[in-house]
Amino acid sequence: PPRGPRHFRLPPAWTSASAPTRTALYRQWIYLTQVQQALCYETALGKWKRGRTDPEALTMGVLYWQLNDIWPGYSWSSVNYGGAWKPLHHVVARAFAPVTALPEQRDGWLLVHASSTVNVRAAISLSIRMVPLWAVPERCGSHIDTAALTLEPLASQVAWQMRVTDLMQRAGCSPQQCFAVL
């Protein structure tokens, strides 16, 4: 049981008497908070971009603030005090690319939306691979499918879809063992 009021439980090792251990754990925790922030933004930005042609949403995306820090330290900004990109800035750069692939899991299906912010048609090719969690994505994984389509100017549309159960069966893994790479 947790001791005292906390939002979440810290690992038992945090009570270690070893200062180097606590310092290493703190640095890992800081890094993980930055990754979590990037994943939250990636999810939100994808949702808003997918909605650009939805008559009920009609959204073009979103602006975000907290661009840079004005002093060294850990914060919610996407660029640190020295100008280096944090995980969030890499995600935002990808999310605001002219043409993006936006995955969504809904009602047992994996849908991949293609979204364009350019005023011309875009011929796109989409490749879906499943990669084990313990592997390096660029070096391994099972190719599942490829889709080619023409994306209309300033459009967002479903480019590919498959039932998650079929996807896992074709890949020979479970959602706890692998992830999709687009």
Lowest mean pLDDT across 53-57, 68-72, 91-95, 175-179: 53-57
Q: Convert the pLDDT of each residue in 66-77 to its tens digit.
A: 788 888 888 889
Interval 96-108 mean pLDDT: 93
- Is-contact 45 62, C-beta < 8 A? yes
Model pTM score: 0.77
Which residue is associated with the tokens 């990037």? 38
CATH homologous superfamily of 98-182 equals Immunoglobulins (2.60.40.10)
Segments making up each domain of the chain, as ranges:
11-96, 98-182
- Is-contact 156 50, C-beta < 8 A? yes
Query: Residues near 92 by Cβ (< 8 Å), separated by ≥ 6?
Result: 41, 45, 64, 78
Interval 102-114 mean pLDDT: 94
